[in-house]
Amino acid sequence: MNDAVGSQAAGSGPAVSVVLAGGGTAGHIEPAMAVADALRTLAPGVRITALGTERGLETRLVPERGYDLRLITPVPLPRKLNADLARLPLRVRRAVRETRAVFDDVHADVVIGFGGYVALPAYLAARRGVRRRRVPVLIHEANARAGIANKVGARGAARVLAAVPGSGLAGAEVVGMPVRAAITGLDRSALRAEARAHFGFGPEDRVLLVFGGSQGAASLNRAVSGAATDLAGRRIAVLHAHGPKNTLELPEPNPGDPPYVAVPYLNRMDLAYAAADLAICRSGAMTVAEVAAVGLPAVYVPLPIGNGEQRLNALPVVDAGAGLLVDDAELTPQYVAGSVADLLLDDDRLAAMTAAAAVLGGRNAAERVARLALDIAAQAGR
């Protein structure tokens, strides 16, 4: 056991104060929360503060996990010349000032950054000022292609980590994706009966899980709901998280049809993974990591906008035989009713994909990130 972890475990000395910067989307928040949980396990006295903005999902997800949340001005980084770009310097200065106030209030010893709207202000605020001590920074890049905030922060970071090789961050150490223990320790087979009962599925139903991230995905919604009648005709049940701002138009079921369970959001993803035989989902870094970690075969449909990182995120899993990659424009009701349904009813192929998914990636990334953060705080002389 290293000195930082040992001191905290023994309860001696002041608690290490860790600030997590990873708000905005679930893809930034979930790895941060996984590391927070690992920090509490390693050093029960640790003080954990999460940075966020009023527009992000962290306003709900962070308090639900029992962590302190401090809100700052969001700093989205525009990809085009527009009014947001003109307002960027003012927003950055304001957000940095607010972040420094948080650091002072919680006596921050180390910052762990995951990218997103709050990461850039955190990285800038952590740098040494005329009358201000420097706060060391540890960066974790989740995507196969690093975002702007992490590229900027990496230049002065104490350590730089990445979920996968080739992220574009020089010298990044590949540690995998921090995933919460409820997922990495999930035994889908053992939980299957409880999960099926929770959602109203029968023990013999073939279940297709559909989700497009925390906000849903309109194209996934249209394709799967449009195939609802055909799926029911092939005795395939559906668990569909369509997003809180979206609705589904579903046909009236016939008597005896398998359930089509449509919900705005899935609070129990562990049960959703355990209930499912196959998933259709986007390929954000966190989604790919969780789906692979639980051994669930998936049809990955990368977001058709952005810099192409979602396709890159899914490629290692697809190349290993644990998933399929389908372009957004190719995911039609006909494809779902044909190719996806064929896969769901093919026991041998599903079993092979499940086995391939189960051996992908490490399951201790959250603990590795947490240990490094505590080590960095100790080395900085906190």
CA angle 374, 290, 38 (to 5 degrees): 20
C-alpha angle 236-241-242 in degrees, rounded to nearest 5: 110
Q: What does the pLDDT read at residue 1?
A: 45
Q: What is the mean pLDDT of residues 37-48?
A: 96
Q: What is the pLDDT of residues 106-147, one digit of tens each?
A: 999 999 999 988 999 999 999 976 457 899 999 999 988 898
- pLDDT single digits (tens) 327-372: 999 999 999 999 999 999 999 999 999 999 877 755 789 999 999 9
C-alpha dihedral (240, 345, 275, 226), degrees to nearest 10: 10
Binding-site positions for UDP-N-acetyl-alpha-D-glucosamine read 25-27, 143, 180, 214, 310
Token pair 């297709």 is at which residue?
Answer: 208
Binding residues: 25-27, 143, 180, 214, 310
Structural domains of the chain, with CATH: 3-181+363-379 (3.40.50.2000), 186-358 (3.40.50.2000)
pLDDT at residue 207 greater than cutoff 60: yes
Residue 190 scores a pLDDT above 50: yes
| pLDDT greater at residue 214 or residue 171 | 171
Q: Is 171 exposed, middle or buried (0-12, 13-18, 19+ CB in 10 A)?
A: exposed
User: Among candidates 366, 186, 173, which has minimal Cα distance to 293?
Assistant: 186
Q: Mind listing the pLDDT tens digit for each residue in 65-117?
A: 999 999 999 877 665 555 565 677 888 899 999 999 999 999 999 999 999 88
CA distance 83 to 103: 30
Which pLDDT value is given to residue 132?
72
Contact 176, 362 (CB under 8 A): yes
Average pLDDT over residues 3-30: 72
Residue that has been written with the tokens 């957000």 in this structure = 95
